[in-house]
């Protein structure tokens, strides 16, 4: 096998992986030097010349000319008599250079060379793949489901690049079928051993941002700014938007007529409920908008401590908190303030005891309800001594309940 044939043996691999001729020649040179170090313990006495234009390479061995019968290493030394047969002008101590045909390395070394070359080609491709996708972190990719496993799904793009979609990066209601095309965002790229591992996500807020850019031209061209995006994947999301031009309604532009623009995003996210609000530099306005369409009587902001106290009528409490606390939690993430909600009542207002189940044990509430005391004022209107005979509670317990009810109504 000559040098040209050896290069051609890897031609298909070069074309498939888009490795340039220059890169391939550099890999061949490095592979040859690796082989020489294995064969001769060093490549110091060798010159490797690679010619990318001809697609060829040469190996030259530099020997030292020594006196006759003084050679200790035939691989690195040549006796003066032998050297003068080639060139009578040679003298002892001079360098003698001879080209080594690839075939003279021996079949075993040629096979070793091919293995080294294949390994280095793969390393080169892995490095290119890592650099390519590291620069694409935060981009949406489309992949076909190739394997579905317990902890992750494996996707392949059109170039057979492999993406890993871990279970925790999947929307809870995601259900994939083999061969299905799905979208996800490149979340991270790291080496696992010698191979780059590309992790994608469908739960990242960045995925929602990119979907909005695809669906809404004004976001893509910068007319509308995405100030912040927060989400509980598959459940609810809130996005704050703003516009450079006051004449533009950023919320209306994002939602579209009858929700037409945002509908595609909602469908991609498995019917995730998306609230779109307009950003404000005023923290009180921002908090109110983030909580949604509710009645708020007063908001106290403490920027140093990073929290906001929201006072709202009793009937609005459940709306503020939302299903499983999702609304108030997302509003806190969006605004950057820890939001506390307080019930606000008037003298004529009353509060159902069930509204206090976060502060008073359920069984205690039931003791009062057994005797027809269903509201805060109905309990406060009775003396503690009378209540001791009505309910199966200790006087201290009744006083504690009254204190909680009184503080709430007074606030």
Percent of the chain with pLDDT over 70: 91
Which pLDDT score is estimated for 230?
96
Q: Please say whether the beta carbons of 161 and 198 come within 8 A.
A: yes
Range of the domain at 381: 353-410
Mean pLDDT of 291-304: 89
Q: Please say whether the beta carbons of 12 and 24 come within 8 A.
A: no
Q: Is the pLDDT score of 128 beyond 80?
A: yes
- For the entire predicted model, the pTM comes to 0.65
Which pLDDT score is estimated for 285?
94
Asked which of 53-62, 147-156, 161-170, 271-280 is least confident by mean pLDDT, the reply is 53-62
The number of folded domains in the chain is 4
Residue where a domain stops, chosen among 321, 344, 367: 344
Same domain, 190 and 260: no
Mean pLDDT of 297-302: 89
Half-sphere exposure of 364 (CA within 13 A, CB side): 22
Asked which of 54-63, 119-128, 183-192, 213-222 is least confident by mean pLDDT, the reply is 54-63
Cα 148 from Cα 135, distance rounded (Å): 27
Mean pLDDT of 314-318: 83
Q: List, as one string, the DSSP characters of 110-129.
A: HHHHHHHHHHHHHHHHHHHH
Highest mean pLDDT among 79-83, 96-100, 171-175: 171-175
Same domain, 150 and 26: no
Q: Could you report the per-residue pLDDT of 341-366, keeping only the tens digit for each? A: 887 655 556 788 888 888 899 999 99
Highest mean pLDDT among 191-200, 310-319, 331-340, 391-400: 331-340
Half-sphere exposure of 97 (CA within 13 A, CB side): 7
Indicate which CATH number applies to the domain containing 214: 3.30.300.20
Indicate which CATH number applies to the domain containing 360: 1.10.150
Same domain, 213 and 310: yes
- pLDDT confidence bin for 276, thresholds 50/70/90: very high
Mean pLDDT of 102-109: 70
Same domain, 395 and 329: no
Same domain, 194 and 306: no
**Residue 86 tokens, joined:** 């080639």
Same domain, 368 and 269: no
Which pLDDT score is estimated for 124?
81
Average pLDDT taken over every residue of the chain = 84
How far are the Cα atoms of 9, 80, 131 from residue 32, in angstroms, in the given order?
15, 29, 26
Indicate which CATH number applies to the domain containing 121: 3.30.1480
Q: Is the pLDDT score of 15 beyond 60?
A: no
Same domain, 321 and 267: yes
- pLDDT confidence bin for 156, thresholds 50/70/90: very high
Q: Which residues make Cβ contacts (< 8 Å) with residue 37, sequence separation at least 6?
A: 43
Q: Is the pLDDT score of 71 beyond 80?
A: no
Q: Could you report the per-residue pLDDT of 177-199, keeping only the tens digit for each? A: 999 999 999 999 998 877 889 99
Mean pLDDT of 16-38: 73
Same domain, 365 and 310: no
Residue where a domain stops, chosen among 318, 344, 370: 344
Same domain, 17 and 47: yes
Indicate which CATH number applies to the domain containing 194: 2.40.50.140
Same domain, 308 and 398: no
Same domain, 287 and 334: yes
- In this structure, what DSSP letter does residue 69 have? T
Which pLDDT score is estimated for 269?
93
| Sheet strands (E) in 67-194 | 77-79, 95-99, 140-148, 152-156, 162-166, 181-192
Cα 24 from Cα 122, distance rounded (Å): 11
Residue where a domain stops, chosen among 147, 174, 203: 203
Same domain, 24 and 120: yes
């Amino acid at each position: 096998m000559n040098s040209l044939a050896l290069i051609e043996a890897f031609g298909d691999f070069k074309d498939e992986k888009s490795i340039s001729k220059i890169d391939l020649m550099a890999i061949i040179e490095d592979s040859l030097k690796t082989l020489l170090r294995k064969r001769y313990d060093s490549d110091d006495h060798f010159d490797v010349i690679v010619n990318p234009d001809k697609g060829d390479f040469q190996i030259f061995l530099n020997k030292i000319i020594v006196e006759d019968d003084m050679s200790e290493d035939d691989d690195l030394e040549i006796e003066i008599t032998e050297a003068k047969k080639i060139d009578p002008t040679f003298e002892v101590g001079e360098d003698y250079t001879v080209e080594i045909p690839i075939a003279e390395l021996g079949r075993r070394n040629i096979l070793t060379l091919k293995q080294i070359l294949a390994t280095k080609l793969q390393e080169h491709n892995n490095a290119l793949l890592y650099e390519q996708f590291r620069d694409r972190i935060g981009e949406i990719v489309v992949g076909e489901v190739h394997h579905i496993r317990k902890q992750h799904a494996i996707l392949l793009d059109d170039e057979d690049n492999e993406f890993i979609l871990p279970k925790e990066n999947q929307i809870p209601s995601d259900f994939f079928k083999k061969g299905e095309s799905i979208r996800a965002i490149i979340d991270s790229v790291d080496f696992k051993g010698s191979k780059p591992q590309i992790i994608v996500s469908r739960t990242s807020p960045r995925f929602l941002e990119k979907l909005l850019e695809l669906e809404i031209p004004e976001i893509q061209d910068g007319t509308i700014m995405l100030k912040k995006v927060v989400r509980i994947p598959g459940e609810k999301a809130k996005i704050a938007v703003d516009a450079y031009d006051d004449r533009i309604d950023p919320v209306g532009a994002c939602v579209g007529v009858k929700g037409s623009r945002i509908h595609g995003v909602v469908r991609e996210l498995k019917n995730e409920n998306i609230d779109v609000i307009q950003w404000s530099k005023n923290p009180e306005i921002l908090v109110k908008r983030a909580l949604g369409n509710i009645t708020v009587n007063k908001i106290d902001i403490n920027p140093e401590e990073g929290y906001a106290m929201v006072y709202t009528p009793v009937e609005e409490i459940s709306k503020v908190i939302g299903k499983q606390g999702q609304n108030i939690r997302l509003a806190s993430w969006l605004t950057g303030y820890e939001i506390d909600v307080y019930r606000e009542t008037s003298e004529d207002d009353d509060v159902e005891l069930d509204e206090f189940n976060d502060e008073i044990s359920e069984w205690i509430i039931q003791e009062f309800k057994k005797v027809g005391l269903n509201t805060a004022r109905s309990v406060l209107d009775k003396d503690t001594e009378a209540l001791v005979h009505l309910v199966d509670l200790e006087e201290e317990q009744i006083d504690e309940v009254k204190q909680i009810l009184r503080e709430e109504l007074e606030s």
